[in-house]
Amino acid sequence: MFRIGFGTDIHRLVAGRPLILGGVHIESDLGADGHSDADVLMHAATDAVLGALALGDLGTHFPNDEERWRNAESSQFLRYANGLIKERGYSVGNIDSVIDLEKPKLRPHINDMRANLAAALEISVERVSVKAKTGETVDAVGQRQAVRAQAIVMLVKSS
């Protein structure tokens, strides 16, 4: 009837890369390093869905040594995961997530991120929560070395 899944992701912050979180381009002097567009929120959300379905992780489905995923828009990973949800007769009950980033402040972008996640999962935005925290100047996040995201998703059997 119900399945729950958890996903987490971290990317290094470097100069000269865009910072894309939940499909939203964030104005920042540092961006996320990675093979695709390095969108930690989309990656964590995708991992949460794959976890709920016990179908491995993002790397299983989208190997990062494959050229076709270079700079790929990560919303396609979540849309792919949504296809697996439907294939197996489930729908998303709700998804909650946290982004850990020292700066800039993400509050102005939260609703756009929620809308992007909701669109990829074909659910209403009220079912999608995105929260943001800083690293309080400590650890890799606080020292602006990394951006991290965690997501948890509840799937409900629909057929």
Residue facing Zn ion at closest CB distance: 43
Q: Which of 5, 7, 9, 77 binds Zn ion (CB under 5 A)?
A: 9
- Interior/surface letters 86-112, b for 16+ CB within 10 angstroms, e for the rest: eeeebbbbebebbbbbbeeebeebbeb
Minimum distance between the CB of residue 58 and Zn ion, rounded to whole angstroms?
A: 7
SS3 for 40-66 is: HHHHHHHHHHHHHCCCCCHHHHCCCCC
How many chain residues bind Zn ion (CB under 5 A)? 2
Minimum distance between the CB of residue 159 and Zn ion, rounded to whole angstroms?
A: 31
Per-residue x/- track, 37-76, Zn ion (CB under 5 A): ------x---------------------------------
Q: Which positions touch Zn ion (CB under 5 A)? A: 9, 43
